[in-house]
Amino acid sequence: FPTFATARLLHFARSCNMQRQQSEALFEEAKRYFPGGVNSPVRAFRSVGGTPLFFEKGDGCHVWDADGQRYIDFCCSWGPLILGHNHPKVREAIVDAVGLGTSFGAPTRKENELARLILDNNPYIEMIRFVSSGTEAVMSAIRLARGVTGRPLVIKFEGCYHGHVDALLVKAGSGLSTFGISSSAGIPEAVANDTIVVPLNDKRALEVAISDYAHDIAAVIIEPIPANNGLLLQTKEYLEFLRDITRRHGILLIFDEVISGFRVGFSGAAGYYDIRPDIITYGKIIGGGMPVGAYGASRDIMRHIAPEGDVYQAGTLSGNPVAMAAGRAQLAECLQPDFYQDQAQRTEAFVGRLNRFAIAQQLPFKVFSIGSIFWFAFTATEEIRSSDEIDPKSMEHFRALHKVLLERGIYLGPSGYEVGFVSSAHTEAVLSEAAGLIEAALAAVFNRSAEGVA
């Protein structure tokens, strides 16, 4: 099947006149400067093949590449752009802030303003600390958990991504719950050995890990809406189980909400499921497209952070005024009445249509979604809740689909394990146009006629 799809695709690609000269030239140059030609690995298109597109500009739900071609963008910078590109309120806030100076290394009013907006509208944290990336937020949250509990170990779940923090760039060994094996060179075994990796959606595995090491475990960290390895939606009941078992053993529960925060609702997955973790990490949307991360918790826990407490954490550009202004402008829009309902409704209509198409055409394809996050899975399965349920071979289909969609003017993140995002700039009309193009692309990939489908 895949080989056949690929052959069809080559035929299709030849019949298109997509321009790549500028992107190709820029990529050739970039390869002289950066490892793999990029400043973050997934951008290199290794898993879909071909040259990464270099972008010139974005506006609303569209982006333009260096060759002047326009795409409907479902990557949205991997999540931060919940209002789409170049939103006037965010742009104006950034421009105004720049006029006052870009960095002081001293407190500014803008940090208070963003913090107030968040804390007044998110009952799951009482204090916050701003950093400059999601990775930094997670790294600091882990240190905080260790500082508060005085314990060394951390439990993470296979299939959750938490940035490139040493202790969390680990994968499971063989067995139900095991000490991590580093998934990157440069991470000492001693560091990987401080992390226990368990499968998602498996109560027994977590119970075993906790009963073996309870008094040494500082934290259990999870993406409550795992969205970095497909979209592995957990049940509320499972997340409540995590809350209960960690509380019983004095272990802190960390929700890594770098994607889900301000995405499935203003108070993220904590609010969506109404579960109160001990520490929450944020990133992506919180910065309005500028580099911001944050972690928050109760007053009692946050008091452990320097200079109040003895857990050291600092940043030259933390709370950067331009970034704070961008974040505040974006989050203020998210607080408009019905913002999240509207996001979810438009996404559901889009996803529902694609799923009905796949069923009607009997394609092994299903879109999983929550709020305005969606994931294209090449499967006939009803539910996928852990990473071992994803068939690696299905990525062949994604690769083929990605190519066809680029030809037709739709940009998805270049990996089948990545989710897509709908922004407020993706109107019903745009989503309906996109759905039509995706249906035709699916038909091409699976070599079926879309005729007879409304």
Least distance CB 310 / ligand PLP (angstroms): 25
Residue from 161, 365, 398, 417 in contact with ligand PLP (CB under 6 A): 161
Pick from 391, 410, 402, 408: nearest CA to 350: 410
Pick from 350, 83, 140: nearest CA to 258: 140
Distance, in Å, from the CA atom of 128 to the CA atom of 360, rounded to the nearest integer, reads 48
Taking the least distance from each CB to ligand PLP, the nearer of 270 and 444 is 270
DSSP string, 292-348: -EEEEE-HHHHTTBTTTSSB----TTTT-HHHHHHHHHHHHHHTSTTHHHHHHHHHH
Residues ≥6 apart with Cβ < 8 Å to 73: 58, 61, 62, 63, 84, 85, 411
Taking the least distance from each CB to ligand PLP, the nearer of 48 and 258 is 258
Give residue number: closest CB to ligand PLP. Answer: 134
Taking the least distance from each CB to ligand PLP, the nearer of 219 and 258 is 258
| Contact call for residue 234 and ligand PLP (CB under 6 A) | no
Of 259-288, binders to ligand PLP (CB under 6 A) are 259, 283
Least distance CB 222 / ligand PLP (angstroms): 9
Taking the least distance from each CB to ligand PLP, the nearer of 259 and 344 is 259
Structure-token pair, residue 329:
């402008």
161 annotated active-site: yes
**Per the residue annotation, which of 65, 73, 194, 256 is the catalytic one?**
256
Residues ≥6 apart with Cβ < 8 Å to 151: 215, 216, 217, 218, 251
- Compute CA 276 distance to the chain's CA centroid, rounded to the nearest angstrom: 21
**Per the residue annotation, which of 284, 295, 340, 366 is the catalytic one?**
284
Taking the least distance from each CB to ligand PLP, the nearer of 162 and 426 is 162
- Residue 13, CA distances (Å) to 55, 147, 210, 417 in order: 21, 55, 52, 23
Residue with tokens 């958990």: 145
| Contact call for residue 326 and ligand PLP (CB under 6 A) | no
Among the residue ranges 185-193, 254-262, 343-351, 435-443, the one whose residues contact ligand PLP (CB under 6 A)? 254-262
Number of residues that bind ligand PLP (CB under 6 A): 14
420 φ, ψ to 5°?
A: -110, 160
Residue from 131, 219, 258, 400 in contact with ligand PLP (CB under 6 A): 258
Contact 375, 351 (CB under 8 A): no
Of 163-182, binders to ligand PLP (CB under 6 A) are 163
Taking the least distance from each CB to ligand PLP, the nearer of 15 and 316 is 316
Least distance CB 266 / ligand PLP (angstroms): 18
Least distance CB 427 / ligand PLP (angstroms): 26
Least distance CB 46 / ligand PLP (angstroms): 18
Taking the least distance from each CB to ligand PLP, the nearer of 319 and 442 is 319
Residue from 228, 234, 347, 386 in contact with ligand PLP (CB under 6 A): 228
Where do the H-state alpha helices sit in 34-127? 88-98, 109-121
Residues ≥6 apart with Cβ < 8 Å to 205: 176, 177, 198, 199
Structure-token pair, residue 106:
């001293």
Taking the least distance from each CB to ligand PLP, the nearer of 156 and 397 is 156
Contact 322, 407 (CB under 8 A): no
Of 138-157, binders to ligand PLP (CB under 6 A) are 138
CB atoms within 10 A of CB 414: 22
Of 394-453, binders to ligand PLP (CB under 6 A) are none
| Contact call for residue 372 and ligand PLP (CB under 6 A) | no
Residue 337: cis peptide before it, omega within 30 degrees of 0: no
89 annotated active-site: no
Taking the least distance from each CB to ligand PLP, the nearer of 133 and 195 is 133
**Per the residue annotation, which of 161, 272, 340, 417 is the catalytic one?**
161
Least distance CB 317 / ligand PLP (angstroms): 14
202 annotated active-site: no
| Contact call for residue 162 and ligand PLP (CB under 6 A) | yes
Q: Indicate the Cα dihedral angle 81, 87, 89, 91, nearest 10°.
A: 90
Among the residue ranges 7-15, 99-107, 160-168, 406-414, the one whose residues contact ligand PLP (CB under 6 A)? 160-168
Least distance CB 70 / ligand PLP (angstroms): 26
Among the residue ranges 132-140, 206-214, 398-406, 433-441, the one whose residues contact ligand PLP (CB under 6 A)? 132-140
Among the residue ranges 90-98, 113-121, 158-166, 309-317, the one whose residues contact ligand PLP (CB under 6 A)? 158-166
| Contact call for residue 318 and ligand PLP (CB under 6 A) | no
Contact 411, 48 (CB under 8 A): no
295 φ, ψ to 5°?
A: -135, 150
Contact 258, 293 (CB under 8 A): yes
Catalytic residues: 161, 256, 284
Positions that interact with ligand PLP (CB under 6 A):
133-135, 138, 161-163, 223, 228, 256, 258-259, 283, 293
